[in-house]
């Protein structure tokens, strides 16, 4: 039998089997949700665990639509670009709501275009008459707010990277506006709310992921709550003690990134890792917990010198860049160090691989995991090597760190198992559903409190 995960004692089943204790509250009060940029539905696990019913969803990537349908049913997700589907989304939702009010719109616009310094640069370029280079994905907030303006939910929940708070967009009238200010102006005076950067590890999630959570409400009790809570949504009672990587995944059957040793699917179907090529395995097996392979020292038995300089942070023109001056040979005996290198096929010359200090770095047992990205299945990714074993995280371990293991979810599309790469994309681009569940529970508590 598989070992229980960190959260298994209080598993919240998926909505299609059982609802949580909040279902009676939410369903009796008609708590319904429209989801935008729904991806494969990971965030909806948290929404529906509270009993809030998702009635309409929208996603444009076909395999994610299929995964969503496999997990939630296919009768309410609209496939396609939101820019071309505003009317379809609104019509579908209104048809299901009839005369009832919509409780929540939950939206996670793409984050790749969000920039922490975009506001000043974009405004300056326009004022100087220069051509504006703007990531078009940032402007997807415009059709999002078109949907919101038509449906007027009691609550609006936007989730994105912290950089969204300082991102600017060009509006339809040619102006430049901070994206959060734009949301507020489109909502009007009926709504109050704020945008807050939160760290997932403050909410019982064993991951240091930081997200910008933007919440607005026109619910009277919601407005009163914001006023009482200092115009913040996140109260102390939502927070939980910090959980570390050790708390989450220590004691699982060991794996190695070698053929025949990289899978323990009898423990869990997703407890497996990719096989690493021998050179990279050599770098990894000589890397200490919390350290990067760029700092590895001499392993020659007659030398073992540990004084060869390692990685250092380099900043050029205000930007961090990879260090290019790390020695690859031992300063004492001259032996090649187990540091990331590449060999020129023509000349045979061995040279250093470019990489930041976070590349080829082991995680730390007694800290929450660093932010999972879709590249967590690659050893060169940011702080994603297992703290002790010679491998990256298994898919199952990533599910735990992202709190997906708390819910019933199938990584399939049209009934067929998704590739490891696609599973990693879904996990890495999702928000931990337990965070969304805690937010939705608080919304229900506030709105339906006596």
Per-residue confidence (pLDDT) for residue 3, from 0 to 100: 37
CA atoms within 13 A of residue 84's CA, in its CB half-sphere: 6
| Total domains, the chain | 2
Q: Which two tokens stand for residue 117?
A: 């310094």
Of 208, 217, 258, the C-alpha closest to 366 is 208
- Reported as a pLDDT band with limits 50, 70 and 90, residue 2 is very low
Percent above pLDDT 70 for the chain: 86
> Is residue 230 exposed (0-12), middle (13-18) or buried (19+ Cβ within 10 Å)?
exposed
How far, CA to CA in Å, does 261 sit from each of 256, 391, 396?
A: 5, 10, 16
Is the same domain home to 355 and 287? yes
Enclosing domain of residue 302: 253-393
Is the same domain home to 217 and 309? no
Is pLDDT at 89 greater than 70 in this prediction?
yes
Is pLDDT at 272 greater than 90 in this prediction?
yes
Is the same domain home to 236 and 382? no
The verdict on residue 20 lying in a domain is yes
The verdict on residue 400 lying in a domain is no
Is the same domain home to 84 and 181? yes
Quick: pLDDT tens for 220-239: 999 999 999 999 999 999 99
Quick: pLDDT tens for 412-450: 999 999 999 999 999 999 999 999 999 999 999 999 986
Per-residue confidence (pLDDT) for residue 7, from 0 to 100: 34
Is the same domain home to 268 and 379? yes
The verdict on residue 367 lying in a domain is yes
Is pLDDT at 319 greater than 80 in this prediction?
no
Cα Rg for the chain, rounded, in angstroms? 24
The verdict on residue 3 lying in a domain is no
Least confident of 9-13, 277-281, 302-306: 9-13
Of 36, 42, 75, 76, the C-alpha closest to 59 is 36
The verdict on residue 420 lying in a domain is no
Distance CA 58, CA 60 (A): 7
- Reported as a pLDDT band with limits 50, 70 and 90, residue 174 is confident
Of 278, 229, 256, the C-alpha closest to 385 is 256
Q: Quick one: average pLDDT of 116-143? A: 62
Please report, in angstroms and rounded to a whole number, the separation of the first and last CA atoms in the chain: 45
- Reported as a pLDDT band with limits 50, 70 and 90, residue 21 is very low
Quick: pLDDT tens for 376-407: 999 998 889 999 999 999 999 999 999 999 99
Is the same domain home to 59 and 169? yes
- Reported as a pLDDT band with limits 50, 70 and 90, residue 4 is very low
Q: Quick one: average pLDDT of 206-215? A: 95
Q: What is the mean pLDDT of the chain?
A: 88
- Reported as a pLDDT band with limits 50, 70 and 90, residue 6 is very low
The separation between CA 161 and the C-alpha centre of its own chain, rounded to angstroms, equals 9
- Domain containing 173 — which CATH number? 3.40.50.150
Is the same domain home to 259 and 240? no
Is the same domain home to 167 and 53? yes
Per-residue confidence (pLDDT) for residue 120, from 0 to 100: 45
Is the same domain home to 57 and 181? yes
Q: Which two tokens stand for residue 286?
A: 């000589």
Is the same domain home to 240 and 258? no
Is the same domain home to 143 and 281? no
Per-residue confidence (pLDDT) for residue 357, from 0 to 100: 79
Per-residue confidence (pLDDT) for residue 356, from 0 to 100: 79
Q: What pTM, to 2 d.p., does this model score? A: 0.88
Is pLDDT at 282 greater than 50 in this prediction?
yes
- Reported as a pLDDT band with limits 50, 70 and 90, residue 161 is confident
Per-residue confidence (pLDDT) for residue 13, from 0 to 100: 32
Quick: pLDDT tens for 288-300: 999 999 999 999 9
- Reported as a pLDDT band with limits 50, 70 and 90, residue 176 is confident
Per-residue confidence (pLDDT) for residue 10, from 0 to 100: 35
Q: Quick one: average pLDDT of 64-71? A: 96
Quick: pLDDT tens for 253-265: 999 999 999 999 9
The verdict on residue 424 lying in a domain is no
Is the same domain home to 228 and 260? no
How far, CA to CA in Å, does 402 sit from each of 313, 341, 432?
A: 29, 32, 5
The verdict on residue 407 lying in a domain is no
Per-residue confidence (pLDDT) for residue 124, from 0 to 100: 55
The verdict on residue 403 lying in a domain is no
């Amino acid at each position: 039998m598989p070992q229980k995960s960190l959260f298994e004692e209080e598993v919240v089943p998926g909505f299609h089997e059982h609802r949580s204790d909040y279902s009676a509250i939410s369903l009796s009060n008609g708590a319904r949700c429209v989801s935008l940029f729904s991806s494969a539905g990971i965030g909806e696990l948290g929404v529906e665990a509270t009993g809030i019913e998702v009635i309409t969803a929208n996603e444009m990537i076909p395999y994610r639509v299929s995964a969503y349908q496999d997990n939630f049913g296919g009768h309410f997700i609209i496939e396609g670009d939101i820019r071309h589907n505003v009317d379809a989304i609104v019509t579908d939702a209104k048809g299901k709501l009839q005369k009832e009010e919509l409780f929540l719109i939950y939206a996670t616009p793409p984050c790749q275009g969000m920039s922490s310094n975009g506001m000043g640069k974009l405004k300056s370029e326009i004022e100087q008459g220069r051509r504006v280079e703007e990531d078009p994905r940032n402007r997807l907030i415009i059709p999002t707010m078109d949907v919101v303006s038509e449906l007027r939910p009691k609550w609006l929940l936007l989730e994105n990277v912290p950089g969204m708070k300082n991102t600017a967009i060009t509006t339809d009238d040619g102006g430049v506006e901070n994206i959060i200010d734009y949301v507020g102006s489109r909502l009007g005076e009926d709504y109050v709310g704020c945008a807050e950067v939160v760290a997932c590890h403050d909410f019982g999630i064993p991951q240091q992921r930081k997200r910008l959570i933007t919440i607005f409400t026109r619910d009277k009790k919601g407005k009163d709550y914001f006023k009482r809570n200092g115009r913040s949504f996140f109260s102390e009672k939502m927070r939980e003690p910090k959980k570390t990587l050790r708390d989450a995944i220590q004691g699982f059957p060991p794996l190695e990134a070698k053929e025949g040793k990289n899978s323990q699917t009898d423990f869990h179907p997703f407890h497996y890792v990719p096989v690493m090529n021998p050179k990279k395995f050599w770098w990894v097996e000589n890397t200490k917990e919390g350290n990067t392979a760029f700092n590895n020292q001499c392993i020659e038995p007659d030398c073992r010198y540990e004084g060869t300089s390692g990685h250092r942070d380099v900043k050029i023109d205000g930007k961090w860049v990879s260090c290019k001056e790390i020695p690859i040979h031992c300063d004492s005996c001259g032996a090649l160090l187990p540091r990331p290198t590449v060999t020129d096929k023509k000349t045979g010359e061995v040279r250093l691989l470019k990489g930041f200090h976070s590349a080829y770095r082991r995680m730390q047992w007694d800290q929450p995991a660093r932010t999972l990205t879709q590249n967590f299945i690659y050893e060169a990714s940011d702080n994603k090597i297992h703290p002790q074993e010679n491998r990256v995280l298994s898919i199952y371990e990533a599910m735990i760190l992202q709190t997906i293991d708390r819910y019933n979810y199938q990584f399939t599309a049209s009934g067929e198992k998704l590739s490891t790469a696609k599973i990693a994309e879904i996990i890495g681009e999702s928000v931990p559903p337990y965070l969304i569940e805690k937010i939705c529970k608080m919304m229900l508590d506030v709105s339906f409190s006596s």
